[in-house]
Amino acid sequence: MRKIIRKTYSLCALLVATSIAFASYAANQIESVRIWPSPDKTRVVFDLAEKPQYSYFFLQKPHRLVIDLRDTDKKFDLTKTFIKGKLIKRIRYSRPEYANSQRIVLDLNKGLQAGIFSLKPIGNYGDRLVVDLTDNSQKAEQTAKKQALSFGERDIVIAVDAGHGGEDPGSIGPTGLYEKKVTYQISNRITKLINAESGLAAHMVRTGDYYVDVNKRSVIARQHKADLLISIHADAFTSPQPKGASVWMLSLRRANTEIGRWIEQTEQHGELLGGAGEIIVDTQNEKYLAKALLDMSMDHSITTSYALSQEMVNQLSKVTYMHKKSPQTASLGVLKSPDIPSLLIETGFISNPTEERKLNQREHQQKIAAAIVKAIKNHFRRYPPEGTLYASKYRGKDHIVAKGESLSVIAKRYATSVSALKRANKLKSDMLRIGQTLKIPQS
């Protein structure tokens, strides 16, 4: 009888110990912490083993953001987190409020606003908790510093958008080259070349390795009062064979090619990687934008985009192989700005081993950038906006012949005659060549 009692007692003790051990077990765990600072906010990403259960609140004196993660262990060492940006001092653990939970404290340099949301696994990423810290006082200060436009001859402003960034690496080449790295490097080269040209000014949409929501890229371009938005990408496909650059403009319908549909899908994939919270917020804005695209006249934007896209293809074909010999159309968010002519330039297929190697070379990047800038310069010399230095410098003085243009077409544009054009340029025939510069006689 005593043996039975002892066995029963031992079994009970084992069950109790097992229950205690099970009760103390935390299912979730932090796998890494990544920080992405940008000019107007800092994003903190907690990579987790499972979907997080969380709550949060702010404290002042000093400023802190406190996050409680339920059913999470403390194995990850927060002290090893590399702090980037000017908004966060450090990230640390504090005494948790609940059993089997962890309290994480973000010590802040000032009072901030926070948007916190979880993201489901996608691509190479698992479950994540995303914290977007925003300094609204900095935004107000930047707004206050904005100066009114001068009434003199202004620069033509080009917004240069480096595709992807931060959480969204874009496509990944065979050797692991990230599209976001290539697009930023080429965009930076384009910006430097444009800013070296009198009468032109360039602003990069993102100025570092962070994610900008697709819909906000045109908003940033608008804030800079851009006359043109160009978005730089490096193409990819499911097989390594496709190669070459291409130029894309807005289509109000879906793309009619397999490559075009692939690009549309990868843009949506990037949105999920980089900012699901912002997509949810912008749902109503997207409805408004779709309606605006139907209601508003986009004649100027589409006409300008088409004219520039032809020149862009012409210049790029001189320095690289073209996947498509003519401009392509697709319904891409970065192009959906009714008031800003916009182009998306695929600089090559990063999924092609040969092109991946070339896209990572400084010399090739510089050739691509120079061709893009030359196309922009040629276009605005032909069609300079009113009130710009280019308008006073080139309008009524010369014209660079574009593909499909004839003497009669050019004469009609400048309200002159074919005979006057021929006399001013000492032409013996009506034959013209692409890129030829014509002097326009004054009326």
Could you tell me the CATH number of the domain that includes residue 317? 3.40.630.40
- Cα–Cα dist 29/287, whole Å: 38
Task: Give the end-to-end CA distance of the chain in Å, rounded to a whole number.
Answer: 121
Q: What is the pLDDT of residues 234-254, one digit of tens each?
A: 988 888 999 999 999 877 564
Could you tell me the CATH number of the domain that includes residue 111? 2.60.40.3500
- Please tell me the predicted confidence (pLDDT) of residue 268: 53
The last residue of one of the domains, among 348, 382, 416, is 382
DSSP one-letter string for 251-306: -SS--SSHHHHHHHHHHHHHHHHHHHHHHHHTHHHHHHHHHHHHHS--HHHHHHHH
Let me know if residue 12 belongs to a domain: no
Could you give phi then psi for residue 228, rounded to 5 degrees?
-155, 140
Query: Between vectors from CA 271 to CA 269 and to CA 277, what angle results, nearest 5°?
Result: 130
- Cα–Cα dist 416/161, whole Å: 39
- Cα–Cα dist 163/125, whole Å: 19
Question: Which residues neighbour 172 within 8 Å (Cβ) at sequence distance 6 or greater?
Answer: 178, 179, 350
- Please tell me the predicted confidence (pLDDT) of residue 336: 66
Q: Is residue 229 scored above 70 in pLDDT?
A: yes
- Cα–Cα dist 4/40, whole Å: 71
- Please tell me the predicted confidence (pLDDT) of residue 8: 47
Q: Is residue 403 scored above 70 in pLDDT?
A: yes
Query: Between vectors from CA 273 to CA 214 and to CA 284, what angle results, nearest 5°?
Result: 45
- Please tell me the predicted confidence (pLDDT) of residue 233: 95
- Residues 218 and 124 occupy one common structural domain: no
Q: Is residue 21 scored above 50 in pLDDT?
A: no
Let me know if residue 11 belongs to a domain: no
Let me know if residue 350 belongs to a domain: yes
- Residues 266 and 374 occupy one common structural domain: yes
Return the residue matching tokens 């291409």: 246
Q: What is the pLDDT of residues 353-385, one digit of tens each?
A: 999 999 999 999 999 999 999 999 999 988 888
- Residues 187 and 281 occupy one common structural domain: yes
**Cβ density class 303-318: b for 16+ within 10 Å, e for less:** ebbebbbbbbbbbbee
Q: Is residue 282 scored above 90 in pLDDT?
A: no
- Cα–Cα dist 430/415, whole Å: 18
Could you tell me the CATH number of the domain that includes residue 412? 3.10.350.10
What proportion of the chain, given as a percentage, has pLDDT over 70? 77
- Please tell me the predicted confidence (pLDDT) of residue 270: 57
Let me know if residue 355 belongs to a domain: yes
Q: What is the pLDDT of residues 72-131, one digit of tens each?
A: 999 999 998 999 889 999 999 999 988 889 999 999 999 999 989 998 888 778 999 999
Longest dimension (CA), the chain: 125
Q: What is the pLDDT of residues 140-179, one digit of tens each?
A: 444 444 433 444 589 999 999 999 999 889 999 999 999 9
E strand or H helix that includes residue 367 = helix 362-382
Let me know if residue 426 belongs to a domain: yes
Please count the structural domains in the chain: 3
Q: Is residue 19 scored above 70 in pLDDT?
A: no
Let me know if residue 305 belongs to a domain: yes
Q: Is residue 26 scored above 90 in pLDDT?
A: no
What proportion of the chain, given as a percentage, has pLDDT over 90? 47
Confidence tier at 261 by pLDDT (50, 70, 90)? low
Q: How many CA atoms lie within 13 A of 329 on its CB side?
A: 9
Q: Is residue 295 scored above 70 in pLDDT?
A: no
Q: Is 119 helix (H, G, I), strand (E, B) or coil?
A: strand
Task: Name the more confident of 263 and 278.
Answer: 263
- Residues 426 and 335 occupy one common structural domain: no
For 45, 56, 211, 381, the CA distances from 112, given in Å and listed in that order, are 17, 14, 19, 46
Range of the domain at 403: 396-439
- Residues 264 and 369 occupy one common structural domain: yes
- pTM value? 0.68
Let me know if residue 171 belongs to a domain: yes
Rounded mean pLDDT, 218-225:
89
- Residues 349 and 423 occupy one common structural domain: no
Rounded mean pLDDT, 270-292:
45
